[in-house]
Chains A and B, each alone.
Chain A
Amino acid sequence: SQKIEQNSEALNIQEGKTATLTCNYTNYSPAYLQWYRQDPGRGPVFLLLIRENEKEKRKERLKVTFDTTLKQSLFHITASQPADSATYLCALEGNAGNMLTFGGGTRLMVKP
């Protein structure tokens, strides 16, 4: 069966360090993968999209990698700040185009 796995345990890191979050998937062949940020009590907000033919994508302090052989995406936040504390969701193209299937999300806590 299809599965998208993100670490359900919270990731606690110190301010200034690099946070790395993992998204693994099985039985998908996505053309792209997206990352979203969600703050408590609010809807997710789109951060980055990476296509299957892209190995890495950057946006300011964010970096996403996409390894279709390992079926894994890594999401990095460099020089993390307490304001980066949130839940981060990965999402894959679903079976019908334009639909996304979301992972369960990983909560990141950045301590000052």
Chain B
Amino acid sequence: DVKVTQSSRYLVKRTGEKVFLECVQDMDHENMFWYRQDPGLGLRLIYFSYDVKMKEKGDIPEGYSVSREKKERFSLILESASTNQTSMYLCASSTRLAGGYNEQFFGPGTRLTVL
């Protein structure tokens, strides 16, 4: 079974803090994703990585950065957390087969509260 794990289920941080959210997958997937999910707004893609050290901006990258130094690990960084970044953060991974018909496997999510 594919397993995607996230470093924390719940996190509380203060405005202005630097926040690291870690995601690890154990299926040798090429693609990894970070989403945030808010009521009424659904899942929105923050960043996407299709290979080590490669990244692509998603729909809402402002205020975030990412790091992918190893294939299995994809980190989301909030350089200076703000209250509007309070949200559920979901990491996902998928393989990159020809045709791109690839399901995404999600982690359990990190509920981040910024005070």
Residues of A that sit less than 8 Å from B by CB: 8, 31-32, 34, 41-46, 49, 51, 89, 91, 93-94, 96-105
Contact = CB atoms under 8 A, between A and B. Distances in A.
Interface string B37-63: 000111101001010000010100000
B105 A97 contact: no
A44 to B, nearest CB: 5
A98 B94 contact: yes
Given A43-B90, A44-B90, A101-B45, 6 more contacts: A8-B40, A43-B92, A91-B104, A96-B48, A98-B94, A104-B40
Interface residues of B, number: 29
Contact of B100 (A43, A45, A91, A97): A97
A6 to B, nearest CB: 8
B43 A98 contact: no
